């Protein structure tokens, strides 16, 4: 459901971008073309502007609706979970299990460092002093 809605949302976004770019700008010429024959005489300038304005309003409303629906669906799927329900605190970690913070690289490295055996740093080799005879 969510994937289909995301695809529809992206199609609406691309259509909205196209419609906005086709509109004539206030200060001069937009990508919609010049004064006469902008779309090969398809519509008059005023009729074209009204159709593009209406299409922009419809697409903006659809964009808003799909955005809100995606936000609600995302919020429902990310509902907080109780530690009591999962039982994560009482169970010891198994050797092959993924660490608790494995989604975060920094936490994973920190956990690996904590599990590494503690060894004393190697002492630098001191050259022996030459013996005189």
Which pLDDT tens digits describe the chain residue by residue (133 residues)?
A: 889 999 999 999 999 999 999 887 766 555 555 555 445 555 556 677 788 899 999 999 999 999 999 999 888 877 666 667 665 555 555 555 555 545 677 777 777 777 766 666 666 677 777 777 6
Q: What is the pLDDT of residue 23?
A: 84
Q: What is the pLDDT of residues 54-84, one digit of tens each?
A: 999 999 999 999 999 999 988 887 766 666 7
8 inside domain = yes
18 inside domain = yes
Query: Can you spell out the DSSP letters for the chain?
Result: -HHHHHHHHHHHHHHHHHHHHHSPPSSS--TT--SS-TTTTSS-HHHHHHHHHHHHHHHHHHHHHHHHHHHHHHHHHT----HHHHTTTTSPPPTTSPPTTTTSHHHHHHHHHHHS---PPPPPPPPPPPPP-
Q: What is the pLDDT of residue 117?
A: 66
83 inside domain = no
70 inside domain = yes
Q: What is the total count of domains within the chain?
A: 1
16 inside domain = yes
66 inside domain = yes
97 inside domain = no
123 inside domain = no
Q: Domain range spanning residue 40? A: 2-25+35-78
């Amino acid at each position: 459901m969510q994937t289909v809605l995301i695809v529809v949302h992206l199609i609406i976004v691309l259509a909205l971008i196209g419609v906005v770019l086709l509109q004539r700008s206030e200060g001069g010429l937009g990508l919609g073309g010049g004064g006469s024959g902008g779309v090969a005489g398809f519509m008059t300038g005023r009729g074209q502007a009204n159709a593009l304005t209406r299409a922009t309003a419809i697409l903006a409303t659809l964009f808003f609706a799909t955005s809100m629906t995606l936000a609600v669906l995302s919020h429902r799927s990310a509902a907080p979970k109780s530690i009591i329900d999962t039982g994560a605190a009482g169970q010891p970690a198994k050797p092959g299990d993924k660490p608790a913070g494995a989604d975060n690289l920094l936490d994973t490295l920190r956990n690996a460092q904590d599990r590494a055996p503690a060894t004393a740093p190697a002492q630098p080799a001191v050259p022996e002093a030459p013996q005189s005879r």
